[in-house]
Amino acid sequence: MTLSKLALVSLCALAAALPSCSKKSAEPPRGAAVVLALDWVPEPEFGGFYAARELGAFGRQGLDVEIRGGGAGAPVVQLVAAGQVQFGIAGADEVITARARGADVVPIYATFQTSPQGIMAHAARGYKTLGEVLKSGTLAIEPGVAYSAFLKKKYGGFGATLVPYDGGVARFMTDPALAQQCFVTAEPLAAKKKGGDPQVFLVADEGYNPYAAVVIVKKSTLTDHPDWVKGFVTAAREGWTSYLATPAPTNAVMQKLNPSMDAETFASAAAAEKVLTESADTTAHGLGAMTRARWETLGNQLADLSLVLKAPPVDDYFVALP
């Protein structure tokens, strides 16, 4: 924090001292050093953020963004709330849960308007609805995720045996009776690639649709660094617009960081993201748009599921995009 402030101060001093030289300087000005913590490894679901970095969109907004990959259970919300990183990626339901537990984080940009979260089963089982999938066999799902509680309530419990999701598709490939959680942009593509027959049911279609890949900041950042927030959103929008149109250059960069995913999967995942990132709201207000009504609905759903005691007041955390 002090380091970034120092960087800002010295940058201002430099700009003031050398007003005439600054234009000639070949070095682009270094912005405020901030970190964006991801909740998963570099994958197409973060494509727009990597694109924003590669295109220099963050730099043009005075931000020097370091993107830090995570893994299963990466404590992104906690890191942001504790001020150890400035920006983080989390699901909308995690944001509300975190607020209910006293972590003062707020959302500023909602990447996915339709949650990519789904359940994938083997097509050979011939299911028509998600309800049928949940009735029998094995279901691999992360313990404690909100949509699991939602599905359990909606269908009056699970007939399937629940086991923890392990982050891959190996078990899916060997067990014909196994269904598992997935991001529609990730696991089904990997399974198909390996010769599997995944059939995906979106949780959003079941009536539970939290924003996904939501950018969060500590609430105090809104007042302490409004320029960061505004700049980040502008750059993210630019990055995502570019990424959805031409994902290939950014995919090449991400693939170096995550060689376990091949180029073809990167490309098909990126193509699948377009419909998920766009909505009536984004048409009206630009990519990443959020509405008060959707946050309110989600808060009430989580309270209904007893995952939070009561929905946190929306106006405490909802800010209209700049």
Partner 1 sequence: MRGFRTLAPPLVALALILATWEVLARALQIPAFLLPPPSAVARATLAELGDLALAASVTGRAALYGFLMSACVGTLVAIAMSSSRILERAFYPYTVFLQTVPIVAIAPLLVLWFGAGLRSVMVSSFIVSVFPVITNALSGIRSVEPALRDLFRLYGASRLSTLTKLELPAALPAIVTGLRVAAGLSVIGAIVGEFVAGFSESGAGLGIVILSSYRQMRTDLLFSAVLFAALLGLVLFGAVNLAGHLLLSRWHPSARNP
Rounded least distance, CB 131 to partner 1, Å: 16
Residue number with CB closer to partner 1 (58 or 317): 317
Pairing, β 161-163 against β 105-112: unpaired
Among 10, 22, 161, 220, binds partner 1 (CB under 8 A): 161
In DSSP terms, 34 is beta-bridged to 65
Q: Which of residues 63-102 bind partner 1 (CB under 8 A)?
A: 73, 77-78, 81-82, 97-98, 101-102
Rounded least distance, CB 287 to partner 1, Å: 28
Collapsed DSSP state (helix, strand, coil) of residue 291: coil
In DSSP terms, 37 is beta-bridged to 68, 88
CA distance 143 to 298: 20
Among 19, 126, 143, 195, binds partner 1 (CB under 8 A): 143
Rounded least distance, CB 214 to partner 1, Å: 16
19 interacts with partner 1 by CB under 8 A = no
Task: Say which residue the tokens 């730099």 belong to.
Answer: 59
Among 170, 248, 275, 280, binds partner 1 (CB under 8 A): 170
Stretch of 160-168, 197-205, 232-240, 276-284 contacting partner 1, by CB under 8 A? 160-168
Rounded least distance, CB 103 to partner 1, Å: 5
Rounded least distance, CB 204 to partner 1, Å: 20
Stretch of 2-10, 58-66, 117-125, 166-174 contacting partner 1, by CB under 8 A? 166-174
Whether 222 contacts 7, CB under 8 Å: no
Cβ contacts of 169 within 8 Å, gap of 6 or more: 180, 187, 190, 191, 194, 196
CA distance 298 to 209: 8
Q: Which of residues 193-252 bind partner 1 (CB under 8 A)?
A: none
Among 164, 207, 313, 322, binds partner 1 (CB under 8 A): 164
Stretch of 4-12, 156-164, 189-197, 249-257 contacting partner 1, by CB under 8 A? 156-164
Cβ contacts of 157 within 8 Å, gap of 6 or more: none
CA distance 248 to 236: 17
Closest by alpha carbon to 269, among 36, 13, 33, 41?
41
Whether 322 contacts 229, CB under 8 Å: yes
Among 52, 74, 80, 145, binds partner 1 (CB under 8 A): 145
| CA angle at 143 for the pair 292 and 310, rounded to the nearest 5° | 35
171 interacts with partner 1 by CB under 8 A = yes
Among 28, 29, 144, 249, binds partner 1 (CB under 8 A): 144
Residue number with CB closer to partner 1 (78 or 258): 78
CA distance 207 to 108: 23
The tokens describing 7, both together, are 């960087």
What residue ranges bind partner 1 (CB under 8 A)?
Answer: 73, 77-78, 81-82, 97-98, 101-103, 138, 141-145, 158, 161-164, 166, 168, 170-171, 174, 307
